[in-house]
Chain A
């Protein structure tokens, strides 16, 4: 109970600090308060003067923070400056798109990484067949891999995300599995002729559960990072693409909402890894 309370307090503190940080960053960004309508000749001079005065009134950081935090407490995430629609209406459909992309990408990445690392680590010598492609994939920027897939017209965002994640996951899984295969009790069991499938199920995987939990958490963070270039290059209407647009257009309400959702996702994924460790110890 105390741990849950501590986690909740820490999550709230992190989310609040993220909110303060994002608002401060945007408040001091050059050109944040410039309004395109002030340069529009169709507006009367009085209207333009009123727009300038309104912008000047909202310059205070505390006022901006108060408005944002108050709005979130009342369940109002604000209105997008760029599109003029409620932020939640923009985010909701995109969450489903990005969520599906993330789930499919992570599932495929884990399947690939587990398959490759089990085959690679079970042998006496590390297999170059798996290690060389993984090393090359780690050296390719996400944006470049996405562009290459687009150019050769094979593989979509799911495959690119899966390949990027699989390379990273493989690196950790291979190392952990290789170490686990050399544990004395596993070596003894192998010498006794215990079947590989049984060894994996009864000894290797349970011993690796805490590390797998941490790796799952890391996969989510890596996937969220790769989401931006992948969605932008493949033109996927997801959270990453929305965030990119919002960052370029200084759309504070959208940026704030996306930032908080991502921060919550990362903090919650961290809890998942802690729970795995707790189950293992229980």
Chain B
């Protein structure tokens, strides 16, 4: 329990530290210092530099903030879409409900990673780095809602047949009138779905990036930095190459812990 509570404090701490690193004068995730390529830890570059002479600490901080922001936005979109579709399917006409759940089945019938890769590959590969980041997280949001929508649908169906709903309907309230009471009752279901989506999206972005289909350079991303692990010559030069992976694991453990605690 205390570990999970610690995770709640660790996350804001990491975000503040990352923001502080990026706010340092002269800190740039794209600046290449060709004199100090693959340097080890120093006062100037506490986590060393990569093969282009870019400060690894600055890049990791940037990746942390981009990944968390993107995942938060994607999780919010996913949860909102799932809430809309699930509620509509439960309270709308039977045909709408059946069609919505069939669409969910289609999405769920395809493995998540495969679906992501397919959709991301169909998007332009020559966009600007900022656009590639937006596309990556929008794709995650667009494909993440069906599982959540199924859960919301089940919750909404339970609400539809609940005592208070029957009572409200029997007193003459129409379906459209009671529907705005549904969302507050679905919040205990939506909040965990939102929190669980965040680490899932962070991992998905890292996996996509590691396959070369994520956020494009020079924007820093977890997936892009995991690419460095493929360069065995670089691994012999400096052990700081493992730093992004270690931090990613810490961030994901903290996110999982925070979701479990909430």
Chain A residues within 8 Å of B, Cβ to Cβ? 10, 13-14, 17-18, 21-22, 25-26, 28-31, 135-136, 138-144, 147-148, 151, 221-222, 224-229, 232-233, 240, 243-244, 247-248, 250, 255, 259, 262-263, 266-267
Contact = CB atoms under 8 A, between A and B. Distances in A.
Given A17-B106, A262-B110, A266-B108, A143 B226 contact: yes
24 contacts: A10-B102, A13-B102, A18-B106, A25-B118, A25-B119, A29-B122, A135-B253, A138-B256, A139-B249, A139-B256, A140-B245, A141-B206, A141-B226, A143-B206, A143-B211, A143-B223, A144-B210, A144-B229, A144-B248, A221-B112, A225-B114, A229-B211, A243-B118, A266-B109
Contacts of B109: 14, 18, 262-263, 266-267
B262 to A, nearest CB: 17
B143 to A, nearest CB: 11
A247 B207 CA distance: 15
Contacts of B226: 141, 143-144, 147
Interface string B236-251: 0000000001001100
A269 to B, nearest CB: 10
Interface of B: 102-103, 105-106, 108-114, 117-119, 121-124, 199, 203, 206-207, 210-211, 222-223, 226, 229-230, 232, 235, 245, 248-249, 252-253, 256
Contacts of A263: 106, 109-110
A31 B199 CA distance: 33
Nearest to A138: B256
Given A233-B210, A244-B117, 13 more contacts: A22-B118, A29-B121, A30-B123, A136-B253, A139-B252, A141-B222, A144-B229, A147-B210, A225-B114, A247-B121, A250-B121, A255-B118, A262-B109
Nearest to B251: A139
A164 B111 CA distance: 15
A94 to B, nearest CB: 14
Residue from B102, B111, B211, B223 with most neighbouring chain A CB atoms (10 Å): B111
A258 B181 CA distance: 44
Contact of A141 (B108, B114, B119, B248): B248
A232 B211 contact: yes
A29 B123 contact: yes
A21 B115 CA distance: 11
Contact of A139 (B124, B232, B253): B253
A30 B124 contact: yes
B258 to A, nearest CB: 13
A245 to B, nearest CB: 10
A10 to B, nearest CB: 7
Contact of B210 (A221, A229, A243): A229
A166 B222 CA distance: 24
Contact of A228 (B108, B114, B122, B206): B114
A47 B123 CA distance: 29
B115 to A, nearest CB: 9
Contacts of B118: 22, 25, 243, 247, 255, 259
Contacts of B223: 141, 143
